[in-house]
Amino acid sequence: MPIKVLAFDGDDTLWHNETHFHLTQQALRDLLLKHAPDADVDNRLFATEMANLSLYGYGIKSFTLSMLETAIEVTEGKIPASDLAVILGWGKRMLQEPTELLDGVTEALREVSRRYSVMLITKGDLFDQESKLARSGLAELFSGVEILSDKTVDSYRRVISRRGIEPEEFLMVGNSLRSDVLPVVRLGARAVHIPYYLTWSHEHVEESSLPAEGWYRLDRIGEIAGLLASIDNGARSPD
């Protein structure tokens, strides 16, 4: 069955995201150094984020709350409120960061939208993702937008069944093996993995745990139209 619907992830697939988290986390390390020189800030923050995930979900507000909690904990409450105000300010700055597109995104979306129905499927904070999409200038290129609280087999199934799309007609493009590839392939649809240079630990999965078939890997989004042409020509299995 030929592919009819392409869906793209947003963060680190269409626009830069993890870089902002990474830089902010670096600033947090530097800030906490003077209060708790021996603290393993990265691991403590990650542990806090994971402990909070089922309460907070994904996104910048959740990250900000977890940074504040980590800062208070690793300094045993010694951090002054003025430094916590600095952390609050970082969260606000991240929320206002311009949506900076990856190279070739606009051209690639324009090209594939001539032959396929093109959707955006992102996960995270509804308000923040809508705002990023609005600032991206890409909104008009999508025939549908879905912002999910998490990307699982079930959440993908709901999205495509509500739109009357068969798994065989659906292809997901994204940077996360955990969120954009694994659940999609398990659903019986296809996926394209385009790695970003940074991956949040939570999104990491061992490649050995992935199915051998049903997904492809590209170095950059500009190669997507070529891959789709070769799939449509019958070369259905990866590489």
Smallest gap, in angstroms, from Cβ of residue 19 to a second copy?
Answer: 20
Q: Which is nearer to a second copy, 91 or 214 (CB)?
A: 91
Supply the DSSP string of 148-166, one letter for each residue. ESS--HHHHHHHHHHTT--
Of 121, 128, 124, 230, the closest CA to residue 180 belongs to 121
Q: Which is nearer to a second copy, 149 or 230 (CB)?
A: 149
Smallest gap, in angstroms, from Cβ of residue 232 to a second copy?
Answer: 29
Q: Which is nearer to a second copy, 7 or 108 (CB)?
A: 7
List the 170-174 sheet strands across, edge first: 144-148, 117-123, 5-8, 170-174, 190-193, 215-217
Region of residue 137 (phi > 0: left; psi between -120 and 50: alpha; otherwise: beta): left
Smallest gap, in angstroms, from Cβ of residue 154 to a second copy?
Answer: 12
Which chain residues interact with a second copy by CB under 8 A?
A: 52, 55-58, 61-62, 64-65, 68-69, 71-72, 75, 77-82, 84-85, 88, 91-92, 95-96, 125-128, 130, 147, 149
Of 219, 206, 195, the closest CA to residue 18 belongs to 195
Smallest gap, in angstroms, from Cβ of residue 129 to a second copy?
Answer: 9
Q: Which is nearer to a second copy, 41 or 191 (CB)?
A: 41
Smallest gap, in angstroms, from Cβ of residue 191 to a second copy?
Answer: 23
Q: Give the 3-state secondary structure of residue 76.
A: coil
Return d(Cα 79, Cα 82) in angstroms, integer. 8
Q: Which is nearer to a second copy, 59 or 183 (CB)?
A: 59
Smallest gap, in angstroms, from Cβ of residue 127 to a second copy?
Answer: 3
Specify whether the CB–CB gap between 59 and 17 falls below 8 A: no
Q: Which is nearer to a second copy, 46 or 104 (CB)?
A: 46
Q: b/e per residue, 18-40, with b = 16+ CB within 10 A?
A: bebeeebbeebeebbeeebeebe
Return d(Cα 196, Cα 174) in angstroms, integer. 9
